[in-house]
Structure 1
Amino acid sequence: MHDPQLVAERLLRASAASAGVDARIDWDASFEEGAWFMPPEWVSLYGTPLWQSMDHTSRVELSRQEMAALASGGIWTELCLMQMLGRYMAGRDLIDARTRYALTEVGEETRHSLMFARLISAMRCRAYTPPGYVNHLFSLTNVVYGRIGTFAVTLLSEEVNDLVQREAMKDERVQPLVRQVCRVHVTEEARHVSFARTELTHAMRTASAANVRVQRELVGVTAFVFMAHRMPATVYRAVGLDPAAARQQALANPHYREILRRSGHKAVTFLTEIGLISPRQRHWWRRAGLAP
């Protein structure tokens, strides 16, 4: 197992070397007529009967709304992660490398949230927020996540959205501004994933069996709730589609379901390997669409 202190020190150096990379985003760039806001293959309705009935302009508009929804979800999850990282730091030596990297990560997550908010505004979209009960549920449960839950949820939220951003940033069909934002986020989130994996592995090896059992269930439920609201039905209303019918086709769409499984593969494999997903929790991950 990698030494958590050494990993944190390496990540601190990497963060210092890349500081200010988001300042190079060209926010004044014009959007290209007819260009996508994410690869079309990643749009939830791709390949469905509804998709076939839409013209190119409507399909591009749906990609714009779905990118806004993903960016909005990114802001909300970053806010949740910052709260959990604050709890992690509160019980630690405030100047050791792991605490200093957690502080660095909070700073980066703040910049990412601002970056996503600016992107949503530039795209002239609304922000999509989760239902009120999800906010209430998090406020009730975040105190019991502990180190295992904190870094498992970090890993889940970062890895599940990583693949679509990696695809978008190298796809020349996608708007240049979206590609720039995705490139910055992917680069910095790779460090957050490395930190989360190291901390989570260490936490699992030192946790009590009772705590592991609780965290397995809590993280599984979190994955299910997180994915259930990843793409709100209101994105379909924004492009003139019936929300209920469109959501039904998206959820039944075999292409979209396969994309979600691919997005979750790395996180699910790792969490299974370290013992945070056992056969008893597998059903949560299947219901979330992240595991076969």
Structure 2
Amino acid sequence: MTVAATDFRERASIDDVTARLLDSSAALSYDPNVEVAWDEPIPDDHYGLNPEWSTLYGTRMWDEMSEEQRVLLTRHEVGSIMQTGIWFEMMLQQLILRDQYAKNPAKSEFRFALTEIADECRHSLMFARTCDVLGIPQYLPPRMTVELARLLKTTAGAEQAYGPILVAEEILDVMQRDWMRGENVVHIVRSTSKIHVVEESRHMKFARAEILDAMRGAGPVRRHASAWLFAAAAWFIVNAMVSPEVYPNVGLDKERALAEVRTNQHRKAMMRMSCVHLMDFLAEAGLLTRRVMPVYQSVSMI
């Protein structure tokens, strides 16, 4: 009887979380077709993202670039990040559907999961439209990343399904909180960032609750396996965010640009700052182990 009571309390806990998230979703959700001024002209001098978030900001190459090149680079960078986001959101929708397959539809957890999928569809559409308005070409993650993700979305379950989701959303959340306030950032990026920040805050709470719920009672083997999967997913996500092709597409030397990005201490500091809350949560969940920390360090997340 004691075990059953404990299981009930754990289940009730996540149902309580998702019930609150459903209320929040009903009270505060956006329609990008209405909220974003898609037809408003794009000022020539407005960036795609705050310059401080550019991969080359703080480098000699940035200092040598014309203002026009800087603006163009940031637009291609935000377009690449958004298209990586679309790719990831399509994957996470499949992960959530697989996790919720045959679960009780009367539960708030099930209903919020489907609500999140609806949100992600709208987000992908608004990111796609933003790239179209800004004239950004297609950018995809590296082929190996795309193929490994096929395996993940087909096999991952429980915390291994929600971990990569949380990693991607936490990193982007901090960036977009800056972009939505950037007076020199194009208005459609400010508007879409605001929508994404508000609605993804619910998704992150859902992912955290699912991870903590799944990790209750997990043994050391499972915990270490999940810690490695989270770290590997983070490594691939960070490396896929800005395509190397953005640099030649704006008239920059690709090899030199990549070399400067790799040694850009400003970019590394911004990345570490964007991951503080994520690392705190992973530590709380027992998923930031000593052995996986070098993986996070290799992509400047810690």
- Residues 1:6 and 2:19 are matched in the alignment: no
Residue of structure 2 equivalent to 1:283:
294
Normalising by structure 1, what TM-score?
A: 0.96
Report SS of the residue matched to 2:48. Answer: coil
- Residues 1:233 and 2:207 are matched in the alignment: no
1:91 Cα shift?
A: 4.4
- Residues 1:114 and 2:103 are matched in the alignment: no
Residue of structure 2 equivalent to 1:124:
135
- What letter matches 2:261 in structure 1? A
Residue of structure 2 equivalent to 1:137:
148
Distance 1:101 1:148 in 2: 17
Residue of structure 2 equivalent to 1:183:
194
1:144 Cα shift?
A: 3.6
- Residues 1:84 and 2:95 are matched in the alignment: yes
- After TM superposition, list the pairs within 5 Å mapping 1:44-63 onto structure 2: 44-63=55-74
Does 217-226 or 115-124 show the bigger shift?
217-226
Residue of structure 1 equivalent to 2:3:
none
Distance 1:162 1:20, change over 3 A: closer
1:117 Cα shift?
A: 0.2
Residue of structure 2 equivalent to 1:196:
207
Q: Is the 8 A contact 1:145 1:218 kept in 2?
A: no
Does 173-182 or 210-219 show the bigger shift?
210-219
Residue of structure 2 equivalent to 1:273:
284
Distance 2:221 2:157 in 1: 13
- After TM superposition, list the pairs within 5 Å mapping 1:205-244 onto structure 2: 205-244=216-255
1:154 Cα shift?
A: 1.3
Distance 2:230 2:172 in 1: 17
Count of residues in correspondence between the two structures = 291
- After TM superposition, list the pairs within 5 Å mapping 1:68-83 onto structure 2: 68-83=79-94
Does 144-153 or 155-164 show the bigger shift?
144-153
Equivalent in 26, 49, 54 of residue 43 of structure 1: 54
Does 205-214 or 124-133 show the bigger shift?
205-214
Distance 1:285 1:180 in 2: 31
How many percent identity over aligned positions? 32
Q: Is the 8 A contact 2:224 2:289 kept in 1?
A: no
1:216 Cα shift?
A: 1.2
Normalising by structure 2, what TM-score?
A: 0.93
- What letter matches 2:114 in structure 1? L
